[in-house]
Structure 1
Amino acid sequence: MILPHHLKIGDTIGIIASASPPDMKKLHKAILFFKQMGLRVKLGKHIEKVHGYLAGTDAERLADFHDMVADPTINAIFFARGGYGTGRIANDIDYDLIKQNPKIIWGYSDITYLHTAIRQATGLVTFHGPMPASDVADQEFDTLTASMFQQLFQPTKLTYTEEVAPLNVLVPGETAGSLVGGNLSLIASTLGTPFEIDTKAKILLLEDVGEVPYSVDSMLNQLKMAGKFDAAAGVVVGDFAEAEPKKDKPSLTLEQVFQDYLGQLNCPVMSGFKIGHCFPHFAVPLGVNAVLSTSDKTLTIDPGVK
């Protein structure tokens, strides 16, 4: 495990787009937030590019990422937004370059693909957290979500409790292990590739957006058939936004789907975490040790920086 160095006032963060094109007006609004935190901001040279549903060609998006990793003046890399496209560049990333220049890497949703690939190739701890153009600039961006960025300025142990939001115990117990995962659809898409997620003895985080119950069912079934739940030490179910079934068709509820796949596991499982496409958005480091306790209804996570 490699912990990136913490940020200091005056440090520079780089913002790039590895997936879909960001709304530049929203991005510039978000830049003000980071400047108020005492940070400088540098944008990727291709961040305004649009190539269909992608933020530039694969080569352009990859170049921006490599440039930020190699640039000694950049202390952290933030992804402007998610969408689609990050997995397209995963196979061409220079993972040795990342290992030689470990720094904070922050994003979620489509960035889940990179979280998994980078952690398993280099051991670097990365962060699942709100992104500039899609979250920081949102009118619902709240104080708790904003406060999550403070964990980057000093080593901070995080404890998620029901003070954030109510939690539901699917399988009781207590467990410890590295926290891994993120967006369910991206995790499922790694199966059968060189970047297939390793869940052995790990606490698996799952969240998603815009996926109706039958779609979530399909992806959970895929993870089950691949043995990912049997290997896990625990499961943390984050937010599943915009998951309502179509009104004109019969459907299981999302809770029933979770019960079918996760309620019978031989490891602790808890749902209701405000981690994902939601506000507040509780940002977490991935790759560090965490403790999940259903009796206390807590998730305690070790610091993600040194």
Structure 2
Amino acid sequence: MLSYRLKTGDTIGMIAPAGPVKKEKLEQSFSFFENMGLRIKLGQHVYDQYGYLAGKDTHRLADFHQMVADRNIKAIIFARGGYGTGRFIDKLDMKLIKKNPKIIWGYSDITFLHTAIRQATGLITFHGPMPASDMVKKDFDTLSSQLFRQLFGPTNLIYSESISPLTVYREGEATGSIVGGNLSLLVQTIGTPYEIVTKDKLLFIEDIGEEPYRVDGMMNQLRLAGKLKDAAGIIIGDFAEAEPKVQPSLRMEEVWKHYFRNYTKPVVAGFRIGHCFPHFSIPLGAKATLSSRTKTLQLSPGVR
């Protein structure tokens, strides 16, 4: 299900469903959206703090539901990730979300929301950089900025080696809807009613701060749960700050080779999607084609 595109003059809602937000950082991002002709409405509890959370679960959930129900809000942009969306995932009003399809944008801890909402409603959501954690950084670049424009009209995206070098671990070409996100959050869905479905899908993974042995363990869990076998292909995004702190260690490349040495479907790594710049924003749930021959990822539009 596609959400409606943005238009100049539309209002977007900003809320914090996970970690706490620093007011000065979020406010620095406002000009970015205002320069695109958008108005901003903040959630009532966006600046709340409750330990490592942006307020109590009930308040963060209420902000989200209020933004979904408000027909004047055309997109919900999450201020930052961190931790916490999984704590209220079973309280989401999926009927309300399906009745009011609108753009939902974020990544990292937001992976839990992306997965649960897409599988319950069919809504395409967006994996992209967030105002208070990414857009205030000095290295927030032109490409990352330009990719917000896909929200203003149906846009076919193509990722090629003109953006970054890509490494092929298994040859092939596959087409399917793209699913996934942060690897550690995807693993957290396993064994729950919101378990990631990868059957005939292109599975995308990324993460930050996870050493090779940790990534190895999470990949093994995906393998044992049948998620790798079910997938039509694997898209390996950015794994930032993954340098091993303890030696000896396998390199990340050796971890990928282990899990995909006998794989019969395409596996391509090196995509700048995740905790990195450029951050290539993608519509999760949209139809995509991964090709090892052309070293490209082609994505259908996420809005109508």
CA distance in 2, matches of 1:10, 1:268: 42
Residues 54-85 of structure 1 show CA distances to partners (whole Å, capped at 9, x for unaligned) of: 00000000000000000011000010000000
Shift of 1:106: 0.2
Match of 1:294 among 268, 278, 292: 292
Counterpart residue identity of residue 260, structure 2 = L
Counterpart residue identity of residue 286, structure 2 = V
Counterpart residue identity of residue 269, structure 2 = S
Shift of 1:270: 0.1
Shift of 1:283: 0.1
Residues 87-112 of structure 1 show CA distances to partners (whole Å, capped at 9, x for unaligned) of: 11110000000000000000000000
Shift of 1:249: 2.1
For the pair 1:241 / 2:249, whether they are aligned, the reply is: no
Which residue of 2 is the match for residue 210 of structure 1? 209
CA distance in 2, matches of 1:19, 1:254: 28
Count of residue pairs brought into register by the alignment: 304
For the pair 1:64 / 2:63, whether they are aligned, the reply is: yes
Show the 5 A alignment for 1:77-96.
77-96=76-95
Counterpart residue identity of residue 286, structure 1 = L
Q: Secondary structure at the match of 1:111?
A: helix
Which residue of 1 is the match for residue 97 of structure 2? 98
For the pair 1:252 / 2:250, whether they are aligned, the reply is: yes
Which residue of 2 is the match for residue 274 of structure 1? 272
CA distance in 2, matches of 1:64, 1:241: 30
Counterpart residue identity of residue 268, structure 2 = M
Shift of 1:124: 0.3
Could you say what the CA RMSD is over the residues aligned between the two structures, in angstroms? Answer: 0.6
Which residue of 2 is the match for residue 184 of structure 1? 183
Counterpart residue identity of residue 277, structure 1 = H
Residues 92-147 of structure 1 show CA distances to partners (whole Å, capped at 9, x for unaligned) of: 00000000000000000000000000000000000000000011111110000000
Q: Secondary structure at the match of 2:205?
A: strand
Contact 1:263 1:269 in 2 (8 A): no
Contact 1:108 1:128 in 2 (8 A): yes
Which residue of 1 is the match for residue 228 of structure 2? 229
CA distance in 2, matches of 1:61, 1:24: 16
Counterpart residue identity of residue 77, structure 1 = I
Which residue of 1 is the match for residue 36 of structure 2? 37
Shift of 1:22: 1.4
Shift of 1:31: 1.0
Moved more, 22-31 or 51-60: 22-31
Q: Secondary structure at the match of 1:25?
A: helix
Counterpart residue identity of residue 292, structure 1 = L
Shift of 1:24: 1.4
CA distance in 2, matches of 1:287, 1:198: 11
Shift of 1:266: 1.5
Structure 1 runs of 4+ with >4 Å offset: none
Instruction: Tell me the percent identity.
Output: 61
Contact 1:199 1:232 in 2 (8 A): yes
CA distance in 2, matches of 1:107, 1:264: 34
Normalising by structure 1, what TM-score? 0.99
CA distance in 1, matches of 2:158, 2:113: 25
